[in-house]
């Protein structure tokens, strides 16, 4: 397993830089959710963002300066004086330079991009993650905890410090599942189940939303994520199991109906509403088709 995080020291250095950047640009604020990660995935993505931004700044700022200088120095004046080389149109050295430097910068971004793309695709080798099956519906989020056999709508609780594996699908038009402070988004699509793992570093409440338009109620596809200690998580599960109502197939069908919903929890859910095989998935979700 390759190291997924950069050494602490450099990490903090970049973070400070980011914060300084954020501060100067727009005034500091926690509202820059992407810049204030609360988990390893989001942090890793932010680090890459910063690396790439710095690399881009190294290109852009010199070019801007060169450009501004050119405009001032070579502007036409009434007496047409100054350097004037109307036929100058090539310079081998310059051309090689202008090709090689961007190539290097692209390489500097591309190599970690490839590394991280692979790394973030793999669950960290910590033992058994919490699995949450996510189904996007019009216009609400249905969460099932197959390990705990409970279900919730529009909110989840997760244990902090432990990876959570989300398995994403849809019984509706597409959406994306996004909790900016924990990490990037992934699509929920009918007929496919996509995995996404995230983790919260410490307890807190994080906003989640959909990033893919799915109709008039799409803005209401927000959910909250409450990260709590493992113990608190277990007792929450127990509480849901004992106090919440069960979900029958009829309840599920009423949830599927178009409309928005508040937070709900259920002590059980009917079998088979989350697909185990993909393709040929039916709308009701109740009779997933076998791949031939």
Partner 1 sequence: MSHIIAELFPPSTLRLFELIADVLIVLTTVSIVGVLTYTKKWVWLWREWLTSVDHKRIGIMYLIAALVMLFRGGVDALLLRTQLAFPNNHFLGPEHYDEIFTTHGTIMIFFMAMPFLFALFNVAVPLMIGARDVAFPRLNAVSFWLFAFGALLLNISFVIGGSPNAGWTAYPPLTELRFNPSVGENYYFLSLLIAGIGTTITGINFMVTILRMRAPGMTLMKMPMFVWTVLVTGALIIFAFPPLTVSLALTLFDRLFGSSFFTLGHGGMPMMFVNLFWLFGHPEVYIVVLPAFGIFSEVVPVFSDKKLYGYPIMVASVLAITVLSYGVWVHHFFTMGAGPGVNAFFGVSTMLIAIPTGVKIFNWVLTMWGGRIRFTVAMLWQLAFIPAFLIAGATGVLLATVPVDYQMHNSYFLIAHFHFALIGGTVFGVLSGMYYWWPKMFGYMLNERQGKVAFWLFFIGFLVTFVPQYMLGLEGMTRRMYTYPPGLGWSSLNLVSTIGAFTQGAGFLVIVYNVLWSMRYGERDLTGDPWNGRTLEWSIPSPAPEYNFAIVPVVHDRDAWWDMKQSGKSEAFKVKSSAIRPVHMPKRSAMPFLLGLSFFVVGFGMTFSWWVIAIIGGLGVLASLLYGAFDYDDFEELDPEVIRRTEAGLGRLQA
Partner 2 sequence: MAHLSNQSHHAETPDHEDRIEIGSLTPHFQAHGFPWKQVLGYVASLLLTALAFVLVMNHVLPPTALIAVILVLAVLQAMLQLGVFMHLRESRGSAWQVIVLGLGFFMAAGLIIASVWIMMFKAGVS
Partner 3 sequence: MSQAVRRYEETEQHLPIEFADYHESVKITGFWFFLATDLLLFASLFGTFAVMRFDFAQGATPAQLFHYGPLILETLLLLTSSFTCGLAIYQMRRNNQKGMLMWLIVTILLGMGFVGTEVHEFVSYVGMGATWHKSGFLSAFFTLVGTHGAHVTVGILWALTLVVQLVQRGITPRTSRKLFTFALYWHFLDIVWVFIFSFVYLSSMTGGRIA
**Binding footprint of partner 3 on the chain (CB under 8 A):** 279-280, 289, 291-292
Binding-site size for ligand HEA (CB under 6 A) equals 5
Minimum distance, C-beta of residue 87 to partner 1, in the bound complex (Å): 6
Long-range contacts of 102-108 (CB under 8 A, 24+ apart): 102/59, 105/55, 105/56, 105/58, 105/59, 108/51, 108/55
Minimum distance, C-beta of residue 36 to ligand CUA, in the bound complex (Å): 6
Binding letters toward partner 1, positions 247-286, x by CB under 8 A: --------------------------------xxxxx---
User: Is 68 an interacting residue with respect to ligand HEA (CB under 6 A)?
Assistant: no
Query: For 208, how many CA atoms within 13 A lie in the half-sphere containing its CB?
Result: 30
Residue of 137, 135, 157 lying closest to 148 (CA atoms): 157
Closer to partner 3 at the Cβ: 22 or 173? 173
Residue 198 Cα to chain centre, angstroms: 9
Closer to ligand HEA at the Cβ: 42 or 158? 42
User: Is 83 an interacting residue with respect to partner 1 (CB under 8 A)?
Assistant: yes
Residue of 229, 201, 222, 228 lying closest to 46 (CA atoms): 201
292 binds, among partner 2, partner 1, partner 3, none (CB under 5 to 8 A by kind): partner 3
Maximum distance among all alpha carbons in the chain? 90
Options 10, 17, 118, 235; binder of partner 1; rule CB under 8 A: 118
Minimum distance, C-beta of residue 106 to ligand HEA, in the bound complex (Å): 5
Say which residues have a Cβ less than 8 Å from residue 16's Cβ, sequence separation at least 6. none
Binding positions for ligand HEA, 33-62, rule CB under 6 A: 59
Closer to ligand HEA at the Cβ: 85 or 104? 104
H or E stretch at 188: strand 183-188
Tokens of 194: 């996509």
109 CB neighbour count, 10 Å cutoff: 16
| 198 in Cβ contact with 182 (< 8 Å) | yes
Closer to ligand HEA at the Cβ: 56 or 207? 56
Binding positions for partner 1, 173-232, rule CB under 8 A: 173-174, 176, 178, 180, 183-187, 189-192, 194-196, 207, 209-219
User: Is 280 an interacting residue with respect to ligand HEA (CB under 6 A)?
Assistant: no
- Give the footprint of ligand HEA on this chain (CB under 6 A): 59, 63, 102, 105-106
């Amino acid at each position: 397993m390759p190291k997924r995080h950069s050494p602490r020291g450099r990490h903090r250095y970049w973070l400070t830089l980011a914060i300084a950047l954020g501060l100067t640009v727009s005034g500091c604020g926690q509202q820059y959710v992407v810049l204030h990660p609360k988990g390893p995935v989001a942090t890793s993505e932010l680090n890459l963002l910063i690396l790439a931004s710095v690399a881009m700044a190294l290109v852009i700022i010199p070019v801007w300066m060169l450009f501004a200088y050119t405009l001032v120095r070579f502007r036409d004046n009434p007496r047409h004086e100054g350097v004037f080389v109307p036929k100058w149109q090539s310079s081998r050295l310059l051309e090689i330079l202008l090709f090689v430097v961007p190539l290097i910068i692209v390489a500097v971004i591309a190599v970690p991009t490839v590394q991280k793309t692979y790394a973030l695709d793999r669950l960290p080798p910590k033992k058994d993650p919490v699995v949450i099956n996510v189904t996007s519906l019009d216009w609400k989020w249905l969460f099932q905890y197959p390990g705990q056999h409970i279900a919730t709508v529009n909110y989840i609780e997760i244990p902090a410090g432990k990876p959570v594996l989300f398995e994403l699908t849809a019984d509706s038009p597409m959406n994306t599942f996004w909790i900016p402070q924990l990490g990037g988004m992934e699509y929920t699509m009918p007929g496919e189940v996509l995995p996404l793992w995230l983790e919260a570093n410490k307890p807190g409440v994080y906003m989640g939303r959909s990033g893919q338009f799915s109709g008039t109620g799409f803005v209401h596809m927000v959910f909250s994520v409450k990260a709590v200690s493992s113990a608190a998580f277990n007792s929450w599960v127990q509480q849901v199991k004992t106090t919440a109502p069960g979900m029958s197939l009829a309840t599920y069908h009423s949830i599927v109906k178009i409309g928005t919903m508040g937070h709900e929890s259920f002590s059980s859910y009917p079998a088979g509403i989350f697909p185990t095989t993909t393709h040929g998935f039916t709308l009701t979700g109740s009779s997933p088709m076998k791949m031939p």
